[in-house]
Amino acid sequence: MGDFWWMIWEKNVPLIVMVTALTEHGKVMCDQYWPPEQGTGCYGTVQVTTVSCQRHPEYYITTIRLQQGFWAVRHVTHYHYPLWPDQGVPQTASSLCTFTEHVQQYLDNITGHGPSVLHCSAGVGRSGTFVALLWLLQLCARGIPPNVHLAVQDLRKRRVMMVQNIEQYKFVHQCLLHWLGGETSKPGCDSLAAPVPLHHGSRQ
């Protein structure tokens, strides 16, 4: 945890997106690396304080204060979506689309910071699906036709197993169709029908 928070400090990270529950079916998926609300913890040389938490029906937005030494202080926003099962998909596309749009709005309003951090448990299935969806929604917003097949191919060239299985691959399509209103006549929807490159249990 000390190394994690030092990375956040060193890279001047403004946003952490977490798309996993802490536990699932009694199995620890991720340690809680931030203190409880109004709590403070020291992780290595970084003092971490949870300032506040906004509780939405399906996700949480937490403001975290970091301090290094006596005077250096920064704030990080932590978006947590715990309803996404390991190696699966959320129950509805609308839920994840709402969360993704909220994250995008936050990204649109920050300047002068380093990269954002996204994680699940293994960092490939849910993380890859979220990256693909956020990327394609950004293209749609710019009037560029989204192509799920090419997006996932490109992600997998950079990190293996991104978008881990066929269900997650299909779910990206479902989210895009939901975001576009479900009207196949809208610009870019034809490219959603690109051939599916994955198979059940694929580790390609």
Q: Give the model's pLDDT for residue 182.
A: 56
Active-site residue, selected from the candidate residues 30, 42, 120, 189: 120
Cα(43)–Cα(45) distance, integer angstroms? 6
CA 188-191-192 angle, 5° bins: 95
Domains annotated on the chain, with CATH: 1-82 (no CATH), 84-110+118-204 (3.90.190.10)
Q: Give the model's pLDDT for residue 37.
A: 85
- DSSP for 14-51, written as a single string: -EEEE-S-SEETTEE-S---SPPTT-EEEETTEEEEEE
Alpha-carbon distances, residue 152 vs 125, 130, 132, 204 (angstroms): 11, 11, 7, 11
Give phi and psi for 68, each to the nearest 5: -125, 115
Task: Look up 120 and say whether it is catalytic.
Answer: yes
- Give Cβ neighbours of residue 5 (< 8 Å, ≥ 6 apart): 33, 43, 44, 46, 48, 66
Cβ(5)–Cβ(48) below 8 Å: yes
- Tell me the HSE value of 22 on the side-chain side, using a 13 A CA sphere: 6
Under-50 pLDDT residues of the chain: 183-204
Closest CA to 79 of 156, 149, 15, 155: 15
Query: Which pTM was predicted?
Result: 0.86
Q: Strand pairing partners for 63?
A: 52, 77
- Give Cβ neighbours of residue 54 (< 8 Å, ≥ 6 apart): 60, 61, 62
